[in-house]
Amino acid sequence: MLSDMNPENIIGDYKEAVLHLYGDGSRKVFYTDIETPYPDGKLIVSTTDKAGVITHVNQSFIEMSGYTEEELIGTLHSILRHPDMPAVAFKDLWDTVNRGEKWQGFVKNLRKDGGYYWVKATVIPNIRNGQVVGYTSVRRKPSRTKVNECIQLYPTLF
Amino acid sequence: MSHTFTVSPDFSPDHLSGWYIFNTWLQRQSGEAIHLEMYDDFHAQRDAIQSNQIDLIYANPFDAAMLVREKGFLPLVKAADMSDEAIIAVSVDNAVNDISHLSAGINVATTEDPDVHMIGMIMLEAGNLDASNIQTHFHNSYVLIAKSLIQGKADVGIFLAEAYDGLSNLTKKQLKILVRSQIGVIHHSLMIGPTLAHRQTEFQQLLLAMNNDEKGKGVLNSLGFDAWVKVEGEEMEFMIDLMDTLSI
């Protein structure tokens, strides 16, 4: 289960929300209006086990999330869950990868400091010897047009 | 029985003789008869792989999934401190300084190098560009892409970063980089096929020790490499998964 965010880590004026994470209890989060732009030319990469527990992150993941590698490994991937993201998007993600298929979508992620960043995420199941052993998620820079469409669409999905 | 070794057709022309020297070195060290077969393009090479004519390959990461999952190849090594990165560049006279300022309908000069083209297209995606709203022109070399930009025949060029860096200073002065990828985990790999799989560990040991003697170092230098680094099975699986996420 994820612990609540610490207000001492938040930079700037913030709002508060309680997220209900599917199967993982609830988490109090603090979030601001400060966006961190996606860095050009980079990919954010992580892997999780079947339960969504992070097993690997790359340097871009660490830099963009604001957490240290030690804080991330062994933690649920939903540590990045932003209150502006509708639960239905993640249900679609899990339903899709559980069928053994790839999922792709635009996601607003929450940083440790309460800020956010948009990504275009692709998640695929890692199949070894015919068995799903975990998931790889790769995020790339999204087009601003697509992000703006999501900013309009996502509030209608709650 | 003679085995066939091939190299991803995107090798630098400067290293062509280096691959022949490497093949001779490998034959002497391993005691196996190995014939080096160079293909003009990826299509011809893939046809040879599909018809089980290849036993050893320095493979483009784009082909790794097919080699491992369909053809039973195993990873051996990769070049130390090298990864496949792409550059998006325009003519220095182009007013555009950011991918997001590029417009639909532009002419994009690229090569058939599959991983570089894919990384380049992903970077263009951030500017709302994809195969459906650009004009793609394939060239046989990165020098021709540079020429195409300088002559105003193309608006944007997709380069292998290493090839761009190797262009003459005069050429580079006439170009401007919009974005350079910093992915770090996509790389070519030397891989061994089922007919030689029983010698995987021996081949790895030979290759990993290659930079320990002057002769081996000289062969590596002729390929533009400093040393080989072992590629574990799971590292290869990780790269295949990564390439899989990037292919959509």
Write out pLDDT tens, residues A137-157.
999 999 999 999 999 999 999
Contacts of A43 in chain B (CB under 8 A): 183, 242, 246
Average pLDDT, chain A: 95
- Same domain for B115 and B44? no
- Same domain as B50, residue B11: yes
For an interface test with A, give the residue of B232, B241, B244, B247 to mutate (most A CBs within 10 A): B241
d(CA A134, CA A46): 11
Q: Assess whether pLDDT exceeds 80 at residue A24.
A: no
Domain span at residue B130? 86-180
Residue written as token pair 């792989």: B49
Q: Do B73 and B190 share a domain, yes or no?
A: yes
Interface predicted TM-score (ipTM) of this complex, two decimals: 0.91
Closest chain A CA to residue B240: A126
| pLDDT the model gives residue A1 | 77
> What is the structure's pLDDT at A39?
95
Residues in chain A whose Cβ is within 8 Å of chain B: 38, 40-43, 45, 47, 58, 102, 104, 120, 122-124, 126, 128, 136-138, 140-146
In chain A, alpha helices (H)? 59-65, 69-72, 87-98, 144-153
Nearest CB neighbour to B183, from listed A38, A43, A123: A43
Please tell me whether residues B38 and B123 are part of one structural domain. no
Q: Tell me: pLDDT of A11 over 90.
A: yes
Q: Of the candidates B61, B32, B30, B11, which has an alpha carbon nearest to the alpha carbon of residue B210?
A: B30
CB contact at 8 A, B186 and B63: no
- pLDDT tens digits for A84-114? 999 999 999 999 998 889 999 999 999 999 9
Are residue B92 and residue B176 in the same domain, yes or no? yes
Q: Are residues B49 and B78 in the same domain?
A: yes
The pLDDT of residue A149 is 97
Kindly report the average pLDDT of chain B as a whole number.
Answer: 96
Last residue of a domain, one of B136, B154, B180: B180
> Is B200 found in the same domain as B137?
no
pLDDT digits (tens, 9 = 90+) for A31-82: 999 999 999 999 999 999 999 999 999 999 999 999 999 999 999 999 999 9
Q: Average pLDDT, stretch B14-40?
A: 96
CB contact under 8 A, A40 and B100: no
Judge if B78 and B90 occupy the same domain.
Answer: no
- In the CATH scheme, what is the homologous superfamily, with its name and number, of domain A34-157? PAS domain (3.30.450.20)
How many domains does one find in chain B? 2
Q: Which of B127, B155, B180 is the last residue of a domain?
A: B180
User: B208: exposed, middle or buried (C-beta count within 10 Å: 0-12, 13-18, 19+)?
Assistant: middle
Q: How confident is the model at residue B12 (pLDDT cuts 50, 70, 90)?
A: confident
C-alpha distance from B149 to closest chain A C-alpha (Å) = 21
> What would the pLDDT profile of B54-93 be if each residue is shown by its tens digit?
999 999 999 999 999 999 999 999 999 999 999 999 999 9
Burial class of A156 by CB neighbour count within 10 A (0 to 12, 13 to 18, 19+): exposed
Q: CATH number of the domain that B27 lies in?
A: 3.40.190.10
Last residue of some domain: B132, B150, B180? B180
Q: Convert the pLDDT of each residue in B114-167 to its tens digit.
A: 999 999 999 999 999 999 999 999 999 999 999 999 999 999 999 999 999 999
